[in-house]
Every structure is written in structure tokens, then in C-alpha cells.
């Protein structure tokens, strides 16, 4: 081989290496939203009237308080509500704000590289009364802090964007909570109450002081393509908590938080029984979720208004303490029924399927221990996984038996060969076809379903 050929090969190798490095650098730059070679994606006009946050004097430097700018923009959108509403564009930058209310017929659009940043000044967070179905803030008696983005009695609201971010800067709140220095329950990141036709797509929610996304007593809620993130040691930072809602669709989301990734709720003990608003017709599908200290998808434990017609399918749960969980207790009343899980994957999960009827934890001492919940008609079809320590733990009680369980097509591989990994008590139901590991004896085994 001539020296000229060697030099040519060497030059070609160097050029390829430099091109690879340039492509990697470009990818990382775009991942951080820097757009060094191409301009940002244009923002579509989704409403008849379009406003830019900067037009109201906002400064995206991460330190200027833009609360008044957000409030003024919402007022402008209210004025055009009868004309189809308005769109508020939040451009690249870090836009510091205290909590603010949104309105009907509004689209809040977060551009790529845009971050709405929650103020850590506790004096700027409004104090709200307890939710009527809870009787207290939640973690503390009395009122609660409001949410960073809040809507009440609104219709037709859209939160979307090019994967812009809402950051609650929750670290200060978590530390104060652990030190027991807070006077009220921490605020949610995003909450809608008594509202309808809410759509949240293509944004990132992170570092909430408390629960991230909490639709409460709402109708027609769609959540698609949302990323929700919080550290594993961030207490009670649930991902999505549909609460006493009707017609909810959650799909194509990624969630990794410090508590339940998803928790379906409907009120707490006597307050939830009196409020009497069930959570009905909830679909959760095509999700990837992670909850190192809690569950991927939970129902309860606040379920006193009733929860029914829930479909969970195509969910991948990894690195979690529990996979799917139903939790309740005497004193709750209400019911959990007509729940279907299908095609759920469990990877590196301590307990795959959990039903627990003695969860405890009450808002006060006034609960009625004779108010017994009903847990019935739970079907599970297609549970697969590996590195699972205990695949199934279903524990009813003499007071609160679990009825109507049906399990089929289950193949969950264990972390080690152990006995009693599929355990259950006070349970009635059946398993159909191939189910591994061997089910508990309380469940009737059938080769095929009897029609």
C-alpha cells in the first residue's frame, strides 16, 4: 500500500470522525433547545386571536416577576372569548411567575425552549379552601396553597406547545414539607376544577411542589404526549390524578415522579361520600411510567365517590415499587368496579399487582368505620414482565372482600425462585388459560372461559 493511499484513508477516517462529532454536537444542541443551525419551529395560530407574552412586558430572564403580564394576557383573551378565544404564546426563555388563573376559550402555547417557572416566594401563592370532597388541604388540616396554573369553571382550554416546560421549582417546598415548616398543603402545578373540554398535549411538567396535574370534577379531559418529571425523593409528586372526573383520556405520556405516576381518585371518606361525584370512563393507554417508591397506575385510596369503567392498556411500568395498585379501606365507602387492565409490561418491579383493602389514612377521626367500600369486577388480560419480586398480592378482608377477579394471559418472570409469590386472601374469582406464576388457590382455574 502506498503512502498516498494511507494518507487518503487517514484523511477519510478523520473526515468521518469530524462529521460524526458535528452531528453529535448538533443533536445535543437541539436537545437543549439551542437551535444553532436552524431557526426554532414556527408557532401555529390555533385561535382567531393570537397574543405574545412579551407584548405585555414580560421578560424571560428567569428573575423578573411576570405574574402581572400573564394576568393581563388572560384578561385580553377573555375580551375575545365570543370571537373564538385567544392564544397566548410563550417564547423561548425562563418566565418567572406566581400562580395565575387561566380562562375559557384559551390556548396557552409553550414554544420550544420556553419554561414557565414557579415562584418560590410562598407569600405569592394564594390560599384556597379545602376541596369539598377531601375536608382538608390533604397533607395538613385546613386550607391549601393554590396551583401555579389554575382554572375554575372554565370550558375549552388547551395547554400545548413544542414541548415547552412548566417548572414548579419544587425543591424548596419539598424541603419545607420534610421539616414540617409549612402551614398549609403544598400547591399543585396545574389544576382544573369544575371545568370541561380540557386538552393538554406536547408539554413537559416538572418539579411540582405537590401533585403535577390534577383535574378535579371535570368533564372531557384529554392528556396526550406529556412528559412529567420529578426526583424520586420529591414527596407526593404524583404525575396525573384524575379526581371525580368523567370521560378522561391519558395516552402517549412518559412519567417519572416521586409518588404514583397516575392515581385515579374520587374523594376521601365522609367528605367524598357526601360530595358523591364518581370518577367514570377513564382510559389510560400507551404509557411509559416509573415510580421508584410507589405505583405506576393506582386507583385510590381516595375513592369514596366511586370509581368505575377504567381501561388501562399498553402501559410499560419499569423500576417501580409497585406496578398496578388498588387501595382502599373501611371508612371510605364508595366502590371500585368494572376495571380492566390489558397488555401491561412490568420490568424491575417489586410487586406487580396489588389490591389492598386496609390502607388506612383518614382525613380526621370523624370517618364511619361501617362505611365499607366495594371492590368488584376487576379483569386482567395480558400481564408480562421480568425481574418482578412478587407478581400478585391481593388482600381483601372479611369486611371488604374482593369479588369478580378474572386473570388471563399472565407470564411474569421472577427475580428469584421463591414460594408464595402469588398471594391472596378473601378473594373470589378465576384464572383462565396460561397464568404464571401459579395462582393462589382461592382463584378457580379454568382452561377456557365459559360463555
Minimal CA–CA distance to 269: which of 185, 193, 365?
365
Q: Which parts of 80-230 fold into alpha helices (H)? A: 171-178
How many Å apart are CA 82 and CA 79, to the nearest integer?
A: 8
How many Å apart are CA 413 and CA 386, to the nearest integer?
A: 5
Give the number of other CB atoms < 10 A from CB of residue 194.
Answer: 14
State the Cα torsion 150-155-156-160 to the nearest 10°: 10
Active site residue 259: yes
Question: Hey, is 10 helix, strand or coil?
Answer: helix
What is the distance, to the nearest Å, from the Cα of residue 43 to the centroid of all Cα atoms in its chain? Answer: 26
What is the distance, to the nearest Å, from the Cα of residue 337 to the centroid of all Cα atoms in its chain? Answer: 21
**In contact, 255 and 239? CB cutoff 8 Å:** yes
Minimal CA–CA distance to 157: which of 94, 217, 210, 221?
221
Query: How many residues make up the chain in this entry?
Result: 451
Sign of CA dihedral 47, 52, 58, 63: positive
How many Å apart are CA 438 and CA 220, to the nearest integer?
A: 41
DSSP state of 400: S
Conformation bin of residue 69: beta by default, left when phi > 0, alpha when psi is -120 to 50: alpha
- Enumerate the β-bridge partners of residue 430: 406, 444
Residue among 156, 259, 260, 269 flagged as catalytic:
259
Burial class (CB in 10 A: 0-12, 13-18, 19+), 398: exposed
Q: What are the catalytic residues?
A: 259
Amino acid at each position: 500500500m502506498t503512502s498516498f493511499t494511507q494518507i487518503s484513508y487517514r484523511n477519510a477516517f478523520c473526515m468521518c470522525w469530524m462529521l460524526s462529532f458535528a452531528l453529535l454536537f448538533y443533536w445535543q444542541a437541539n436537545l437543549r433547545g439551542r437551535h444553532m443551525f436552524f431557526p426554532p419551529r414556527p408557532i401555529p395560530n390555533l385561535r382567531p386571536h393570537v397574543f405574545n407574552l412579551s407584548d405585555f412586558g414580560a421578560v424571560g430572564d428567569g428573575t423578573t416577576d411576570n405574574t402581572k403580564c400573564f394576568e393581563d394576557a388572560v384578561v385580553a383573551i377573555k375580551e375575545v372569548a365570543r370571537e373564538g378565544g385567544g392564544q397566548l404564546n410563550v417564547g423561548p426563555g425562563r418566565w418567572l411567575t406566581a400562580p395565575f388563573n387561566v380562562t375559557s376559550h384559551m390556548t396557552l402555547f409553550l414554544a420550544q425552549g420556553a419554561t414557565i417557572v414557579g415562584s418560590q416566594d410562598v407569600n405569592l401563592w394564594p390560599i384556597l379552601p379545602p376541596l369539598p370532597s377531601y375536608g382538608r388541604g390533604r397533607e395538613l388540616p385546613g386550607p391549601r396553597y393554590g396551583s401555579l396554573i389554575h382554572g375554575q369553571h372554565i370550558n375549552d382550554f388547551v395547554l400545548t406547545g413544542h414541548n415547552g416546560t412548566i417548572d414548579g421549582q419544587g425543591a424548596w417546598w419539598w424541603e419545607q414539607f420534610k421539616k414540617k415548616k409549612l402551614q398549609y398543603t403544598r400547591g399543585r402545578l396545574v389544576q382544573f376544577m369544575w371545568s370541561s373540554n380540557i386538552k393538554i398535549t406536547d408539554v413537559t411538567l416538572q418539579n411540582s411542589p405537590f401533585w403535577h396535574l390534577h383535574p378535579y370534577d371535570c368533564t372531557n379531559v384529554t392528556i396526550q404526549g406529556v412528559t412529567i418529571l420529578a426526583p424520586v425523593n420529591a414527596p407526593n409528586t404524583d404525575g396525573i390524578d384524575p379526581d371525580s372526573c368523567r370521560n378522561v383520556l391519558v395516552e402517549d405520556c412518559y412519567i417519572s415522579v416521586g409518588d404514583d405516576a397516575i392515581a385515579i381518585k374520587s374523594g376521601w371518606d365522609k367528605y367524598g361520600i357526601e360530595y358523591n361525584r364518581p370518577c367514570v370512563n377513564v382510559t389510560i393507554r400507551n404509557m411509559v411510567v416509573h415510580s421508584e417508591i410507589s405505583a405506576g397506575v393506582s386507583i385510590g385510596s381516595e375513592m369514596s365517590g366511586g370509581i368505575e369503567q377504567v381501561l388501562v392498556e399498553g402501559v410499560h411500568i419499569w423500576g417501580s415499587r409497585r406496578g398496578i395498585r388498588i387501595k382502599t379501606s373501611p371508612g371510605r365507602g364508595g366502590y371500585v368496579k368494572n376495571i380492566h387492565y390489558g397488555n401491561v409490561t412490568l420490568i424491575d418491579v417489586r410487586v406487580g399487582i396489588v389490591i389492598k383493602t386496609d390502607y388506612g389514612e383518614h382525613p380526621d377521626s370523624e370517618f364511619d368505620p361501617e362505611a365499607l367500600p366495594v371492590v368488584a369486577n376487576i379483569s386482567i388480560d395480558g400481564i408480562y414482565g421480568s425481574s418482578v419480586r412478587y407478581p400478585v398480592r391481593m388482600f381483601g378482608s372479611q369486611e371488604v372482600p374482593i369479588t369478580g377477579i378474572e386473570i388471563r394471559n399472565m407470564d411474569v418472570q421472577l427475580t428469584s425462585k421463591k414460594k408464595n409469590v402469588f398471594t391472596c386472601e378473601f378473594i373470589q374469582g378465576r384464572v383462565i388459560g396460561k397464568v404464571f406464576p401459579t395462582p393462589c388457590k382461592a382463584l378457580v382455574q379454568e382452561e377456557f372461559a365459559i360463555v
